[in-house]
Structure 1
Amino acid sequence: RAVMRMSPFAASLILLRHGIEPVCQFACRDRNRIGLQGDLLGAHALGIQNILALTGDPIKAGDYPDAKAVFDLEAVRLLKIVGNLNRGLDGNDKPLPDGAVDLFVGAAVDPQCKSKSGLERRFEQKIAAGAQFFQSQLISDFDLLEKFMYQIANGYQKPVLAGIFLLKSAKNAEFINRNVPGVEIPQHIIDRLARSSQPLQEGIKIAAEQVQMASQLCQGVHLMAVKREDLIPQILDLAGIPALAIDSPHANII
């Protein structure tokens, strides 16, 4: 949502230093092709391999609506540039001084897109441009996710991570419906949160149930617990997802 937070580049490096393999997001909204390529080369040099190539949400959706957007590229063109870097070439098809990089690049997908033909066309464009995995937008309709997986995605054998959002209250769910394009939290979920005397705990249960549903359809999840990332282990435990052994004395702080 174009909200100012720590650089994904820096956050990814912190995670890497704690033994956790990150997925670093690169948004075309904030940098031109020179800056993007420089940071991609820097990410590779520092051992950050997984890249999520995004166009980026519009500036007016965030907390600095008067900031200046860049959008020198969009997601498909950024994917192609990463492909070039992996072949040892820059965006102008000139050889890189230090040779090819080895980046594993993915892209975003919205299984709830109202146009199936548009969804399929954009998905195929991103695969043709080099996408090796996909992270979905916030999923609220698991029937649409199932249709997308069986009718489109499974034929390409690219891993898909479903976006699961921690809803903290009925008011939070209503805010999402008003402000996040393409997402409609079902009324029965809103009612369930409204009825609960502990809406946050109910939201944790809902997220865990959605993790379980997603695990039957796709290859993983992208958990979004905005400002309550500390609750992610609780969601995963409730969903029955076994913990990974992290070889780091500081891993428990992440």
Structure 2
Amino acid sequence: MHESPIWAPEALPWLRFNLSTSLMTIVTFIIVLVIAIAGTRKLTSGVPKGFQNVLEWVVDFVYGIIGSTMDLKKGAGFIYLGLTLILFIFIGNLLGLPLNFVTIHHEPFSLFGMDIVTEKMIQESNVIHNGHKVVELAWWKSPTADASVTLAMSLSIIILTHIFSVKFVGIKNYIKHYFEPHFLFFPLHIIEEFAKTLTLGFRLFGNIFAGEVLIAVILLMGAAGIIPLAIWQGFSVFVGAIQAYVFTILSMVYISQKIHH
């Protein structure tokens, strides 16, 4: 059974860093940055060519998402947020499909002074390799297969909706909204914000994590799993695209609800 490389600082034992998630988040960021640079490197006002054509299609697609949820006079400024969300989530969703980078450790392992594999972890491991107890660390996966990432993203979106609400409708109308249509509805509005955060984050996490678990199960089938693996990976690309779209459009819907009094 593969484990994630976790670093827990001795001074803060309650704080745990998933190095695999951190690594893959950085990889996703770099890929999105390269795509953005490649698509805007040789801009032309005429007929777009090459990667510019692809990026312009994505921009038009995001404009369509925003236009379906709010007035574009107000929503045009959210194009950068929507473009960032859909590219980051789509690329992140796909990263766990093609590669599987696992390291095997039968001795304590440290990385840049961080204790990743300890003697205690090795002794408690149930994995046997060449007659020795080992710890297998999985370094490559989709960053969106980690609930901490998707919930952090959803929390960021919900916080942004409140900031935009104050900016567009004013602090007075923002506060007034929580007591409409009656002051007794105030607890329901608070529960609604909490539910939005959980559903937005867990929907993305659940779909991507379940897909990677199923891929791991298919890999255990050996040669018999080649065809099912190819089929499922193709379906996973479709699921990854749908989940990127769903997260982006729901983010715009939540923003729209806040900026229209």
Q: If the length of structure 1 is used for normalisation, what is the TM-score?
A: 0.28
Look at both structures and tell me which one has the larger radius of gyration over its CA atoms. Answer: 2
Q: What TM-score results when the alignment is normalised by the length of structure 2?
A: 0.27
Return the structure number with greater relative CO, CA threshold 8 A, min gap 6: 2
- Higher helix content, 1 or 2: 2
